[in-house]
A and B are shown apart, each in its own frame.
Chain A
Amino acid sequence: MSLVNLSHVCSHLNNACKARLAITSIPNSNLHLKLSHALQNSGYISSVIRGGPTPPPKHTILGTPTVSDGNAGVEPVTQDNVASRRLWLGLKYWQSEPVLGKMTMISKPTRRITIDVTGLRQVIRGEKYQTVEGLRSPGENLYLSTDRGIMEARECVEKQIGGLVLCRVQ
């Protein structure tokens, strides 16, 4: 689990959103894929596709690349092409503003921060716990890496698990 690469992903997504890009790519890794799916579940990004060095073709009707595209299809990952795979993320905008406002890392490559359920309860109530600031704005999310996958902070509290705090999305 390289937090260096994850930090680069956060910065890259911030820059891509500011540039109003429709689709962008990040390096392929299981951590990135799981975080992307978590972001997609929260509605921050529209699509997550594992593709090659060039962007995957758009779906004829939806206008964005999709996994279940009957016509274009998605190239299967093999031992030969796995090194060249990238994750292609569809970015969302609403009223000319990016939906994915700003991603900031909480854990740093040199300092990993874990949090338990008691602390997480405080954080989602908007209170500060140790070095983790509370979620105080509407629509603010915190993603954690737990032993049951990457989850949003509120989901972690629901399932009574803590974990490594990855990043915050505003």
Chain B
Amino acid sequence: MSLARPARCLFCSFSRAASAVPRVPRRQFHPSPPSLNSKPKPPNGPESELKSLYQISREMKQDDFQPYTEEEKAGLREVYTPEQIAAIEAGEAAIDPKDMADQFAFRTDPMKLRYLDDFSTIEPGVDKHVRAPVENTDYDAKMKTREDFVQDLAQYFMDMPEDASAGHFVRFLENVRVTRGKEENELNPHSALVPDFISPGESLTETGKVTKTIFTDAVQKRLGEDLTAAMKRLIQDTGYSEQHIRSLKTKALVTHRVVNQTRLGKIASTYSLAIAGNGRGLLGIGEAKSDELPDAKLQATYRAIRNMQPIPRYEHRTIYGDVTGKVGAVDLKLMNRPPGFGLRCQHLIFEMCRAAGIHDLAARVGRSRNPMNTVKAAYQALMSQRNPDDIARARGKKLVDVRKVYYSGRA
């Protein structure tokens, strides 16, 4: 990344200045730089700042093309060889600034760039990034052993000056290497991967602020001891933290004894059906069978957590339209209701709605009322809701939520 400007910059006033520190990486959804002017313009600012590109090209004067200052030349010398500098100077001398001013124009050809840039900096997402050379790689690099670190520390104490401060030790900690082998391999390794625009801990809105969570060994160890193997697997599969899993709303809704008839006799076990939800639109159901009741409940709960899926909620309180579900002989209907109506339905559907975060609903369960099939049918009904946006897209019609329009989007 060069710090000096390679050629006389005509767009200096538009382009961001090249800075010594790398720019804060920011995810870009389009190939052009986010903003050409870092300074926000006042709406009624001076006229000179509100010129169009056409005006600029029209009003370009001879004075706008000044020769390089000594400072700029020094910058160029850092990047270019003396031969290249000589060529640049020869080129500068060959062109009359008056001609430059007369013939100055912005490119209008099809291959022009869609943004203004002087190419003095490497833009993430736009430019081909500079990779560290392959020679930096050291295949024989090894992690330092405890003895090596002790030796490093001893070396530090031996080299320590008389007036050593805390900063001195911090600098040592930051600079101490953890591998043996080539220095570049650790500090500036070659990588075929695309560099991250956002480093871990950063978000789109908060760049540069990396919050590190420090887990001491003791805390890690304690966490590891508490967790069962099943819970560890659940954390691994879902990506939720243990704390988050504990905060989910879970309940074993159906449990009963089931029997497998074999030629040796009846083998009894326990069946359990559990639901899990986060109270904000996620709901899942899980079934499990085991010899012991608590085990079946736990397995069913963990399966429900794994099966959690988003459920469409109108205004985060009720469902979109009336939906029906049918499993076996259970034939039920869920109906949306106005705010404050509450959950007027049987206990199984009530529990499901509470877990999913639905607050206004009425339900009718017709024909059979088998608990297991009721839960399954209710889940099926909740999942069968149709999104109004999809309906609008499918039919090519504009659908408007009148309630939202009436309350100017604040309902």
Question: Which of B193-201, B237-245, B384-392 is the interface stretch?
Answer: B384-392
Query: Closest chain A residue to B392 by CB distance?
Result: A139
In the bound complex, how far is the Cα of B391 from the Cα of A42, in angstroms?
11
B321 interfacial by beta-carbon distance below 8 Å: yes
> Do A92 and B394 touch across chains, with their CB atoms under 8 A apart?
yes
Decide if B321 touches A137 in the complex (CB within 8 Å): yes
Residue B146 interfacial (CB < 8 Å):
no
User: Do residues A95 and B390 form an inter-chain contact, with CB atoms below 8 A?
Assistant: yes
- Residue in A closest to B389 when the chains form the complex, CB atoms: A138
Residues of B within 8 A of A95 (CB): 390, 394
Chain A residue contacts of B250, Cβ below 8 A: none
Q: Mark A133-155, 1 if CB is under 8 A from B, else 0.
A: 00011111000000000000000
Q: Is the C-beta of A53 less than 8 angstroms from some C-beta in chain B?
A: no
Structural contact, B336 and A99, CB atoms closer than 8 A? no
The answer to whether the Cβ of B65 comes within 8 Å of any Cβ in the partner chain is no
A88: interface (CB < 8 Å): no
CB distance B320 to A136 under 8 Å?
A: no
Q: How many angstroms between the C-alpha atoms of A97 and B387 in the bound complex?
A: 13
Q: When the two chains form their complex, are residues B335 and A138 in contact, meaning their CB atoms are under 8 A apart?
A: no
B42 within 8 A of A: no
User: Is the CB–CB distance between B321 and A94 below 8 Å?
Assistant: no
Which of B87-95, B164-172, B395-403 lies at the interface? B395-403
Q: Which residues 285-308 of B have a CB within 8 angstroms of A?
A: none
Q: Smallest Cβ distance from B170 to chain A, in angstroms?
A: 57
Closest to B336 in A: A136
Q: Does B410 contact A (CB under 8 A)?
A: no
Against B, the Cβ 8 Å flags (1 = close, 0 = not) of A89-133 are 000101101010000000000000000000000000000000000
> When the two chains form their complex, are residues B322 and A139 in contact, meaning their CB atoms are under 8 A apart?
no
The answer to the question of B221 belonging to the interface, with a C-beta cut-off of 8 Å to chain A, is no
Q: Is A43 located at the chain interface by the 8 A CB criterion? A: yes
With A94-B390, A95-B390 in contact, do A139 and B399 touch (Cβ < 8 Å)? yes
Choose one: B321, B336, B393, B397; the contact of A140 (CB below 8 Å).
B321
A110 → B minimal CB distance (Å): 25
Is the beta-carbon distance between B394 and A99 smaller than 8 angstroms? yes
Q: A94-B390, A95-B390 are in contact. Are A138 and B397 (CB under 8 A)?
A: no
Q: Are B322 and A136 in contact (CB under 8 A)?
A: yes
- Partner of B394 from the list A43, A136, A140 (CB cut-off 8 Å) is A43
B166-203 Cβ-contact flags toward A at 8 Å (1 or 0) = 00000000000000000000000000000000000000
How far apart are the CA atoms of A140 and B393 in the complex, in Å?
Answer: 15
Evaluate contact between A139 and B391: CB separation under 8 angstroms: yes
Nearest chain B residue, comparing its CB with the CB of A41: B397
B320: which A residues are within 8 A, CB to CB?
137-138
* B391, closest chain A residue (CB): A139
Which chain B residues numbered 193 to 244 have a C-beta less than 8 Å away from chain A?
none
Contact A138 B393 (CB under 8 A): no
Residues of B within 8 A of A136 (CB): 321-322, 335-336
Note all chain B residues with C-beta closer than 8 A to A94.
390, 393-394
Nearest neighbor of B322 in chain A, beta-carbon distance: A136
**Contact yes or no, A138 B395, CB < 8 A:** no
A94-B390, A95-B390 in contact; A139/B335 too (CB < 8 A)? no
Q: How far is the CA of A94 from the CA of B322 in the complex (A)?
A: 20
Among candidates B321, B388, B396, residue contacting A43 with C-beta atoms closer than 8 Å: B396
Query: In whole angstroms, what is the CA distance A25 to B67 when docked?
Result: 80
Among A42, A92, A94, A139: residue with most chain B CB under 10 A: A139
Instruction: Tell me how far the C-beta of B363 lies from the nearest C-beta in chain A, rounded to whole angstroms.
Output: 14
In the complex the two chains form, what is the Cα distance from A10 to B252 in whole Å? 43
Across the interface, B399 reaches (CB within 8 A) one of A44, A92, A99, A138, namely: A138
Interface string of A28-64 (1 = CB under 8 A from B): 0000000000000011100000000000000000000
Check A139–B386 contact: CB distance below 8 A. Answer: yes
- Chain A nearest Cβ from B192, distance in angstroms: 38
- Chain B residues closer than 8 Å to A92, beta-carbon distance: 394-395
Give the nearest-CB partner of B393 in chain A: A94
Chain A CB count within 10 A is highest, among B323, B392, B393, B395, for B395
Expressed in whole angstroms, the minimum distance between the Cβ of A31 and any Cβ of chain B is: 22
Task: Kindly report which residue of chain B lies nearest to residue A140, judged by CB atoms.
Answer: B321
CB of A99 within 8 A of CB of B395, answer yes
A44 to nearest B CB, angstroms?
7
Chain A residues within 8 Å of B393, by CB? 94
In the complex, chain B residues whose CB is within 8 Å of the CB of A42: 395, 397
Binding site for A on B (CB under 8 A): 320-323, 335-336, 386, 388, 390-397, 399
Can you list the 5 inter-chain pairs with the closest CB atoms, starting with the nearest? A137-B321, A43-B395, A94-B394, A139-B391, A138-B388
Q: 15 more A-B contacts (CB under 8 A) besides A136-B322, A139-B386?
A: A42-B395, A42-B397, A43-B394, A43-B395, A92-B394, A95-B394, A99-B394, A137-B320, A137-B322, A138-B320, A138-B321, A138-B386, A138-B391, A139-B395, A139-B399
